[in-house]
A and B are shown apart, each in its own frame.
Chain A
Amino acid sequence: MSFLRTTWALVAKDLAVERRTRESLNVMFIFSVMVVVILNFAFELRVENVGQVAPGALWVAFAFAGVLGLNRSLARERENGCLEGLMLAPVDRNAIFVAKAAANLLFMAGAEAIVLPLFTVLFGVNVLRPDLLIVLLLGTLGLAAVGTLLAALAVHTRARDVLLPILLLPVSVPLLIAAAKATGGLLDGAGLAGVAGWLQLLGVYDAVFVAVSYLLFEYVLEE
């Protein structure tokens, strides 16, 4: 099978599992809403203009919910012995990474799509803007790629899913800073040109870390 067909078959498998169980999407969605609600309580008492903290709150919700979804997605593979099966099959190892990362990107984007309108209502800040799409895409891409790599090794340790946030969040610091800054700039009406620097940083982060995660993934799988 060609690389693309293998990848597509693996993504379709993840989508089929998700369609039947709705495990990842439900959990990520509910968890993001919970983070938004809790942050709102935490801020409401002191922060005068909630709009000022909205970009940070949004990305905290996405990052935390993403950790849950990534853990679920890779733990499922381990529980069913699915990764071992895939490694026995004549399948390109890199296709496994691309497929898992793509599926995780889709799930995280799906959860974000449901959270955004709710966030607009709860925070009173309109985040349903077309120019925000590019920030969401770049930010989620980096999280999904590095997260897929780290989740694949975290689920095979004794600490299991506890390890993923500890490994993923510090590495994602530049991505979260850039994404929150770009989001804030767009909400303030700076326009895409006004946040070009942050978008560039997101692009550099994605280029470096997608490539490195892709290269390192085979060492995580190797048995």
Chain B
Amino acid sequence: MKTREWAGLALTGLSALAMMAAIYAALVYAPTERVMGALQRIFYFHVPVAVVAFLSFGVSFVASIGYLARGGRRWDQVAYAAAEIGEVFASLVILTGMMWARAAWNTWWTWDPRLTTTLVLWLIYAGYLILRGSVEDEIRRARYSAVVAILGFLDVPVVFMAIRWWRTIHPVVFDSSGVNLEPAMLSAFLISLAAFVILYVALLLARVRQESLADEVEFLRRRVQ
């Protein structure tokens, strides 16, 4: 095996270990919250997943700008992989958020700024993935999807502002006054965040590699014909 494949494998193993540590930290190590009880433990998964989803869309945004500015297949592969993984994580954010909302606020859905922004973002990138599926020409597909990824990501802060003015009931754990968390809870949160970021990097690298292998297969197939 090549060094790159070894590195990928090592990263995957590391993310598995980190995830186990995160599960332990969230379910056993972190103290039970006084008001919400065990319910609060979903926070250790919900928030890191949300961070990774937004991070991933950010990576897609930067890679899309890179593609339009520099060109080259690699930028497009990264933008595509990041958008796809971001969509998966955004789905998880919405699902875990709904579970939390049901238990804490007694409703499956509220039109809160963060939930709604995530939903709008989810819709934008669903459109992005549909767009990618309906353009045959590689260069045109890369260019069109870069345009949509840039437009979609720039929309995030504006959507958030608009909905925030509209209504809000989301708990604010991190605000300008600092972190409103118990030290043990904070370390559990940070362990979980690290685990999800490592998992994200492993997924992104694997997905980009898969895309370039697909390119290679396509190239070889054309040569045989």
- Please list the residues of chain A having a beta carbon within 8 angstroms of any beta carbon in chain B: 146, 149-150, 153, 156-159, 163, 166-167, 169-171, 173-174, 177-178, 181, 197-198, 201, 204-205, 208-209, 212-213, 216, 219-220, 222
Contact = CB atoms under 8 A, between A and B. Distances in A.
A220 B154 contact: no
A219 B146 CA distance: 9
Contacts of A156: 135, 140, 144
B20 interface: no
A212 B163 contact: no
B162 A174 contact: yes
Nearest to A216: B147
B147 A163 contact: no
A167 B131 contact: yes
A197 B165 contact: yes
Contacts of B144: 153, 156-157, 220
B33 interface: no
A159 B130 contact: yes
B136 interface: yes
Given A153-B144, A173-B120, A208-B158, A158 B135 contact: yes
Contacts of A173: 120, 155, 159, 162
Contacts of B146: 219
Interface residues of B, number: 29
Nearest to B143: A219
Nearest to B145: A153
B147 A158 contact: no
Nearest to B68: A219
Name the prevailing secondary structure of the B interface residues.
helix
Contacts of B120: 170, 173
> Which one of B123, B127, B165 has the highest number of Cβ atoms from chain A below 10 Å of its Cβ?
B127
Interface of B: 68, 120, 123-124, 126-127, 130-131, 134-136, 140, 143-144, 146-148, 150-152, 154-155, 158-159, 161-163, 165-166
Contact of A205 (B131, B152, B158): B158
B162 A222 contact: no
Nearest to B122: A170
Which of B126, B151, B165 has the most CB atoms of chain A within a 10 A radius of its CB? Answer: B151
Q: Sort A-B residue pairs by CB-CB distance and give the 7 closest, nearest first.
A: A174-B162, A159-B134, A170-B123, A158-B134, A166-B127, A174-B158, A157-B134
Given A174-B155, A174-B159, A204-B158, A222 B127 contact: no
Given A178-B162, A201-B161, A219-B143, A171 B152 contact: yes
27 contacts: A149-B151, A156-B135, A157-B131, A157-B135, A157-B144, A158-B134, A163-B134, A166-B126, A166-B127, A167-B124, A167-B127, A167-B131, A170-B120, A170-B123, A170-B124, A170-B155, A171-B151, A173-B155, A174-B155, A174-B159, A177-B162, A201-B162, A209-B151, A209-B154, A212-B150, A212-B154, A220-B143
